[in-house]
Amino acid sequence: MSMARPAGEREIIARIRRAAGNSDDLVVGIGDDCAVYRTYPGRVSLITTDTMVEGVHFDLAWHPPLELGRKAAAVNISDIAAMGGLPRFALLSLAVSPATGSQWLDAFMAGFQAVLAEHDVVLIGGDTVQSGHESVFSITLIGEMAEGELVTRKGAQAGDVVLVSGFLGEAAAGLALCRLGQGQDIAWQSLVAAHLDPVPQVALGRVLAASGMVNAMQDLSDGLATDLAHICAESGVGAVVAAEKIPLSPALCRAAETCDHSALDWALSGGEDYHLLFTAGEQQVVPLCNLVREKTGRELFVVGYIVADGGVFLEEAGRRREISYRGYEHFR
Amino acid sequence: MSMARPAGEREIIARIRRAAGNSDDLVVGIGDDCAVYRTYPGRVSLITTDTMVEGVHFDLAWHPPLELGRKAAAVNISDIAAMGGLPRFALLSLAVSPATGSQWLDAFMAGFQAVLAEHDVVLIGGDTVQSGHESVFSITLIGEMAEGELVTRKGAQAGDVVLVSGFLGEAAAGLALCRLGQGQDIAWQSLVAAHLDPVPQVALGRVLAASGMVNAMQDLSDGLATDLAHICAESGVGAVVAAEKIPLSPALCRAAETCDHSALDWALSGGEDYHLLFTAGEQQVVPLCNLVREKTGRELFVVGYIVADGGVFLEEAGRRREISYRGYEHFR
């Protein structure tokens, strides 16, 4: 339930949320990366659904069908990873434009299936219909995990440290480079790959969830400013992000010069990085980083801290300004 | 995973099906109304997803948003009913056209939510994105049931009797009347309601599944000719349908005259009736009809029988012709 989304969608989501109900078996309803329901005592299923619309979420001019199929699977698996779950089953619903040929569909399916296989996810259902103009893909992912390990957006506490699992802004820079016609340039390979073929952080999500040290978590789909605002809203807290701590890759900084765009802006509001964003108590940061390094060989990046008062603020050169929800919505 | 679908979609579904995998916990994969997986010994979850595209599956010219929201919920609940399951949770993914206003969305959500409430289904998640041209709705429904009561499309046996749970062709006639601009005429109320606001057969599906007397079942979404062909293909059998046994309502026959269309053709190939289509051993028909009458007050209709050789055939005035898959696909 998280993808880059245009302005006004939060209002519609609020509408859906008001219509939502409750149930004894429902552990997490609308407002997190997945809905979560209990299948038997101590065990939960996670479920998420996303829709990708041609011309809104992907551009066939530069997105090859294989990579698009991979991305369609990856961004949904990422929602399961965002709560620490193990992805299990997928369903794919295709509304295919009249212009879509069978070679294109075969390549899309090959990419979709390859990412499922990388994560031992089984395609168990789906439907296909004809669309009038643009192609629309809806993917549903089902995961499972121990209820006790579940990490939601709700648990952030004042004093927590805010961490991310990798360089930010890469996908947004890759998109900008594709738009400039530089998507094939070898110099931008890592950035373009981040846009075309993002990697869901399943193994890391499971290590973080099982550690018991993470208080709140989600994946970075709309950009740090918006996604951290989601965690703050759900947890009833605020956050301060330090501009100089945000991990920016050398390639991103070079691309920022080429595109005459702020690297920091991409990192804060570009979206679609699909890294994990999470909070942990200050005392847990060192053991958590050690655990993650040992289990996955990965480094974590501290980017800020949680405060009691609401809103997400950026500290830069001694000044502080609010950046809540300045994500993909804002910059369209 | 069943809705009226245009020509060529079976080919794409075959593509998805070839890409599908397997798992120890997977009870039913692609090719039935729902995918089914085991959540713990003896208990299964059912999951189905459908996509509805503006201009393909619904026409805003005559489909009021409240009824459209009701139908979006109903046709997915019907997939759970088609296997005898209890619907539990729903997810709604909206790709909304720029022309869609908030009043329209409120009415759609009210209808969607009303049908969920009628069946104690809880809306637990969803997403919304902007579409370029037409609105697209994707709905995911989750149900559950005892694994031992599950009825799939696979169990039909030569000698079985084929039954349906109500009048056929009503929805197709209602659609034809709407297209003629007669959707508001009180004389056609039952037919138009069948098109705009179909009723999923949840209680009946559960009685049939729990009876242990039903060998194969699905819901009638594409029309008797196509849906019975699905059961035959999955079961490795054929079927003979007797034209004079197909239940046609007086209103349908009147509408056929008005529209200069064959009532039988609507019943065989119109689609979207969302009645249940199922088979049972000949000895079970009387006890099954008695049980259903006692538990639900409903009548069942015998329309044909299963044979060993493949294909679906219609017997009419002593002649027999093949009608396999002559459903919505054929008559578009």
Q: What distance in Å separates residue A90's CA from the closest CA in chain B?
A: 9
Question: Which of the listed CATH numbers 1.10.1200.10, 3.60.21.10, 3.90.650.10, 1.10.12.10 matches domain B161-331?
Answer: 3.90.650.10
> What local confidence, expressed as pLDDT, does residue A298 receive?
95
Q: What is the pLDDT of residues B123-144, one digit of tens each?
A: 998 777 778 788 888 999 999 9
Least confident among A168-177, A276-285, B103-112, B281-290: B103-112
pLDDT category at B329 given cuts 50, 70, 90 is very low
Q: Which two tokens stand for residue B257?
A: 């005259």
Which residues in chain B have Cβ-Cβ distances shorter than 8 Å to A8? Answer: 130
Q: Do residues B44 and A137 make contact, with C-beta atoms less than 8 angstroms apart?
A: no
| Interface touch A50/B20, C-beta < 8 Å | no
How many interface pairs between A and B have CB atoms less than 8 angstroms apart? 256
Q: Which residues between 125 and 154 in chain A have a beta carbon less than 8 angstroms from any beta carbon of chain B?
A: 125-134, 136, 138, 140, 142
End-to-end Cα, chain B, rounded Å: 20
Q: Is A8 on the interface with B (CB under 8 A)?
A: yes
Q: What is the pLDDT of residues A271-328, one digit of tens each?
A: 999 999 999 999 999 999 999 999 999 999 999 999 999 999 999 999 999 999 875 4
3-class secondary structure per residue, chain B: CCCCCCCCHHHHHHHHHHHCCCCCCEEECECECCEEEEEECCEEEEEEEEEEEECCCECCCCCCHHHHHHHHHHHHHHHHHCCCCEEEEEEEEEEECCCCCHHHHHHHHHHHHHHHHHCCCEEEEEEEEECCCCCEEEEEEEEEEEHHHCCCCCCCCCCCEEEECCCCCHHHHHHHHHHCCCCCCHHHHHHHHHHHCCCCCHHHHHHHHHHCCEEEEEECCCCHHHHHHHHHHHHCCEEEEEHHHCCCCHHHHHHHHHHCCCHHHHHHHCCCCCCEEEEECHHHHHHHHHHHHHHHCCCCEEEEEEECCCEEEEEECCEEEECCCCCHHHHC
| Interface touch A12/B128, C-beta < 8 Å | yes
pLDDT category at A40 given cuts 50, 70, 90 is confident
Report d(CA B163, CA B145) in Å as an integer: 23
pLDDT at A143 over 90: yes
| Interface touch B109/A6, C-beta < 8 Å | no
Bigger pLDDT: A61 or A263? Answer: A263
Q: Is B103 on the interface with A (CB under 8 A)?
A: no
Report d(CA A29, CA A22) in Å as an integer: 8
Write the burial class of residue B143 (CB in 10 Å: 0-12 exposed, 13-18 middle, 19+ buried): buried
The one-letter amino acid at A231:
I
B122 closest CB neighbour out of A9, A23, A106: A23
Domain with CATH 3.30.1330.10 in chain A: 9-149
pLDDT at A180 over 90: yes
The one-letter amino acid at A22:
N
Helix (H, G, I), strand (E, B) or coil at B298: coil
Bigger pLDDT: A186 or A100? Answer: A186
Closest residue in B to A106 (Cα–Cα): B15
Backbone φ and ψ of B244, nearest 5°:
-75, -10
Give me the DSSP letters along B48-70.
EEEEEEBTTTB-TTT--HHHHHH
Strands B238-242, B311-316: pairing is parallel
Helix (H, G, I), strand (E, B) or coil at B156: coil
pLDDT at A2 over 60: no
Report d(CA B63, CA B241) in Å as an integer: 33
Backbone φ and ψ of B169, nearest 5°:
85, -5
* Cα torsion A226, A227, A232, A238: sign: negative
Q: Do residues A187 and A252 make contact, with C-beta atoms less than 8 angstroms apart?
A: no
Q: Is B21 on the interface with A (CB under 8 A)?
A: yes
pLDDT category at A84 given cuts 50, 70, 90 is very high
pLDDT category at B1 given cuts 50, 70, 90 is very low
Strand order in the sheet with B122-130: B26-28, B35-40, B43-53, B136-146, B86-96, B122-130
pLDDT at A50 over 80: yes
pLDDT mean over A192-201: 97
Q: Is A91 on the interface with B (CB under 8 A)?
A: yes
Q: Which two tokens stand for residue B21?
A: 């995998």
pLDDT category at A4 given cuts 50, 70, 90 is very low
> What local confidence, expressed as pLDDT, does residue B303 receive?
98
Give me the DSSP letters along A132-173.
SSS-EEEEEEEEEEEGGG---SS---TTPEEEESS-SSHHHH
- pTM given for the model: 0.87
* Cα torsion B300, B302, B306, B310: sign: negative
Q: Which two tokens stand for residue A107?
A: 């390549």
The one-letter amino acid at A7:
A
Q: What is the pLDDT of residues B239-267, one digit of tens each?
A: 999 999 999 999 999 999 999 999 999 99
Q: What is the pLDDT of residues B194-241, one digit of tens each?
A: 999 999 999 999 999 999 999 999 999 999 999 999 999 999 999 999
Contacts of B305 (CB under 8 A, 6+ apart): B159, B160, B161, B162, B239, B240, B282
Domain with CATH 3.90.650.10 in chain B: 161-331
Backbone torsion region of residue A247, taken as left when φ is above 0, otherwise alpha when ψ lies between -120 and 50, otherwise beta: beta
Q: Is B56 on the interface with A (CB under 8 A)?
A: yes
Interface pTM (ipTM) of the complex? 0.82
Q: Do residues A95 and B53 make contact, with C-beta atoms less than 8 angstroms apart?
A: yes
pLDDT category at A5 given cuts 50, 70, 90 is very low
Report d(CA A19, CA B94) in Å as an integer: 14
Question: Which of the listed CATH numbers 2.30.110.10, 3.40.50.300, 3.30.1330.10, 3.30.70.360 matches domain A9-149?
Answer: 3.30.1330.10
Contacts of A274 (CB under 8 A, 6+ apart): A74, A75, A78, A171, A198, A199, A200, A201, A219, A220, A221
| Interface touch B26/A122, C-beta < 8 Å | yes
Q: Is A55 on the interface with B (CB under 8 A)?
A: yes
pLDDT category at A6 given cuts 50, 70, 90 is very low
Q: What is the pLDDT of residues B272-300, one digit of tens each?
A: 999 999 999 999 999 999 999 999 999 99
The Cβ of residue B7 has, within 10 Å, a number of other Cβ atoms equal to 12
> What local confidence, expressed as pLDDT, does residue A8 receive?
58
